[in-house]
Amino acid sequence: MPLIKQLACCLLLFLCVGIPASAQQESADSWQTVRTRQAGTITVLWDRIEPFIYPDARGRLMGVEYELMEGFKTFLKNHYQVNLEIRWKEIGNFAQIYPRIRDTKQAGLFAVSYYSITDERKKEVRFSPPYMPDLNILVTNSQEPTFATTGEFRSRITGMHGYTQPGTTMETDLKKIRENYYPSLPISYNTKDDYAILGQVSGQTGAFAYVPVSIYVVALQKGYKIKRQRLFDIHREGFAAIYPKNSDWEEPVSEYFNSAECKFFVNSLIRKYLGPEVAPVILEVSVPQDDSGHTADIDLLTKEREIVTQRLTDAAVELQQQQSIRNMTLLLLGCLVLFAVLLYGRVRIKQRMNRLLKQRNQLISVQNTQIEQMNHMLKLKVLQTRMNPHFLFNSLNSIQYFIVANDRKVSLQYIKRFSSFLRKLIRFGDEVQITVQDEAALLKEYLWLEQTRFPGQLDYEVTTDASAVAMQVLPLLTHSLVEKVLYNEIISHYEKGTISIIFRASDSGLSVTVNGKGAGAPRTPIPGSEDTTGRADEDTLIKRVRLFNKQQKQKILLTREAAGNTVTARIEIPQPLFDHPELAQPET
């Protein structure tokens, strides 16, 4: 027995832990496996950041880092005769990628998302050789002044707010600013991307953040209202791909990233995605320089901003010129058309008169059709205002009974709910269509009144799906059906009953289900609940449905099913309710 228990526990542990763990394994072959088989697969984790890796409008990946890693496949094919497949897996959260690379046991798991090389990270993961220099700059809202000294910045920082992304070098740099200049500096975190952070900085005076200089320049081109502060630039070794510490891919990765063809490829990618004018500026500014060159790289970045501004100005002027030419062309064309109309107008007067007469006849025909439809709408209104007089008499008798019984609380409550029901009835009686929400509210008022009249004999429930609340229905369409089920199937036949009404969206539009279920011993009909009441309401309901279906392409369908002590009636109502909704609008 102990052996059987141990085997059962092992099997349970395998089912609960082993299968999910194996299901989560990505295809990540080691370099030894790939080289032995001359083929294999690696997985690259990524988080979108334009223009380095992101999907285009069709969902296809593109960007500097994407094409750089795809070039790795070509390099291995040419130098090692290896067919490598790369599976790209989006994580969606930058902070979650690094721990997966750090903790994985899979040799062929890589990640790219603009990772900075740092000494702390080198202790936990491997980096490819840097493909691009790394410079983090301090960016503020464009309304902030340009700080010439750290003293000016120190005097202003007490009224500022920092923004950053968790798990990044930008967070590290921002925390150093807080530690050195203002320990109480508030910092907010945004897990989306660098542009979301810059959006917050752009929209709030006093906001600032650290971002890579390339992201800053792209954001300027996108129109963000931000400004670079020339203090506190942070240079690092560069940007690179990362992979596990125990990975055996170091040899081919280093060979690829250090190769002349890779460096040439990277330069072409940076020019492709950042622009031929912007790319050299970013690369030159990002390279660490001594004090004598510091002013030069700042001037380069300033010049780049001037080029971008001038380009936008030229584009605006060119667009304005094109609009002026187009407007002049349209004006000239309009004059020519007017001249042609005046020239041939007298010859075509008779044809125009015949055409106007034909149009008037067509208009009269359309108006006749509209009048006929409006007449049907009025008939619908007349039918929907008809109400079962037995219900009114019974309600008044109930009020009289409560008053005679000296039940003051119930009397006042019943009168209040009865008046609320009548107000809704009057208000909806003048409408051609109402929402399901209003129809359900009216039913609840009615069923509460009936439940109070028959205490202990009736339970009810009105359910409305969220997707059906705003749908349209003919006012009081379900009222007659509910009353028929209530009187003819429950009150008159059973000691107690339950009625439920469900409004839900269906493939054809709106589906209303009325379900009545009797309980207790069957009994003979009680006074006031004869079938004539339900028959009158049913006749009114059928007349309204027939009148509606006669004028509309989409029809209202009524069905009824009975089994034992349960009866189910359904109404299928098309959406939109009318073929011509404008005819259903109330008159102003």
Q: Are residues 565 and 507 in the same domain?
A: yes
Task: Tell me: do 294 and 405 sit in the same domain.
Answer: no
Hey, is 542 helix, strand or coil? helix
Q: Let me know if residue 455 belongs to a domain.
A: yes
pLDDT at 5 over 60: no
Output the pLDDT for position 17: 42
d(C-alpha 375, C-alpha 372), whole Å: 5
How deeply is 297 buried, as exposed, middle or buried, from its count of CB atoms within 10 A (0-12, 13-18, 19+)? Answer: buried
Which residues 6+ apart lie within 8 Å of 149 measured at CB?
231
Residues 388 and 339 in one domain: no
Which tops the pLDDT comparison, 476 or 498?
Answer: 498
Asked if residue 56 belongs to a domain, the reply is no
Pick from 70-79, 272-281, 304-313, 372-381 the range whose average pLDDT is largest.
Answer: 70-79
User: 51: Cβ–Cβ under 8 A, 6 or more apart, which residues?
Assistant: 63, 64, 218, 273, 274
Whole-number percent of the chain with pLDDT over 90: 32
pLDDT of residue 102: 93
- 158, 182 Cβ separation under 8 angstroms: yes
Place of tokens 């049913």: 538
Under a CB-based contact definition with an 8 Å cutoff, are residues 373 and 382 in contact? no
Helices and strands in the chain: count of H runs, count of E runs? 20, 18
- Helix segments in 228-290, DSSP class H: 250-257, 260-274, 278-286
Angstrom distance (rounded) from CA 67 to CA 88: 12
Boundary of a domain, candidates 313, 346, 379 = 346
User: Would you mind telling me the total number of residues written for the chain in this entry?
Assistant: 588
Are residues 301 and 428 both part of a single domain?
A: no
3-state secondary structure of 395: helix
Residue 345 has pLDDT above 80, yes or no: no
Alpha-carbon gap, residue 156 to 136, rounded angstroms: 21
Q: What is the pLDDT of residue 87?
A: 94
Alpha-carbon gap, residue 468 to 440, rounded angstroms: 11
**Residue 318 falls inside a structural domain:** yes
| Integer CA distances (angstroms), 51 to 21, 211, 268, 385, 422, in order | 34, 14, 14, 65, 64
Interstrand relation of 83-90 and 39-46 (parallel, antiparallel or unpaired): parallel
Q: What are 233's two structure tokens?
A: 């630039």
Give the residue from 148, 144, 151, 107 showing the smallest Cα distance to 125.
107
> For residue 364, how far is the Cα from the chain centroid?
47
Per-residue pLDDT tens digits for 382-437: 655 555 565 677 777 777 877 877 788 888 888 998 888 888 888 887 788 889 99
Task: Express as a percent the part of the chain with pLDDT over 70.
Answer: 81
Q: Taking a C-beta distance cutoff of 8 angstroms, is the pair 117, 130 a contact?
A: yes
- Answer yes or no: is 191 within a domain: no
Residue among 87, 86, 82, 85 at smallest CA distance from 35: 82
550 within some domain: yes
pLDDT tens digits, 499-512:
999 999 998 899 99
**Are 481 and 377 found together in one domain?**
yes
Alpha carbons 430 and 476: distance in angstroms, whole number: 11
**What tokens does 386 get?**
């008809």
Domain containing 296 equals 290-346
Whether 426 and 485 map to the same domain: the answer is: yes
* 130 located within any domain: no
**122-131, 389-398, 573-582: which is most confident:** 122-131
In 63-105, where does DSSP find H-type helix? 64-80, 94-103
Mean pLDDT of the chain: 82
Considering the domain architecture, whether residues 331 and 395 belong to the same structural domain is answered as: no
Q: Is residue 474 in a domain?
A: yes
Q: Of all helices (H) and strands (E), which one includes residue 484? A: helix 477-484
Please tell me the distance from the alpha carbon of residue 211 to that of residue 163, in angstroms, as a whole number.
10
pLDDT at 14 over 60: no
Q: Please give the Cα distance from 546 to 544 (Å, whole number).
A: 6
Count of structural domains within the chain: 2
Identify whether residues 334 and 420 lie together within a single domain: no
- Could you tell me if residue 514 is inside a domain? yes
Rounded to whole angstroms, how far apart are CA atoms 305 and 282? 12
Do 455 and 377 reside in the same domain of the chain? yes
Structure-token match 């509209």, residue found: 370
Residues 409 and 498 in one domain: yes
What is the CATH number for 447? Answer: 3.30.565.10
135 three-class SS: strand
Count of C-beta atoms within a 10 Å radius of residue 530: 14
Exposed/middle/buried for 69, CB within 10 Å: 0-12, 13-18, 19+?
buried
Asked if residue 422 and residue 322 are part of one domain, the reply reads no
Examine the domain organization and report whether 445 and 411 are in the same domain. Answer: yes
Q: How far apart are CA 287 and CA 264, in angstroms?
A: 17
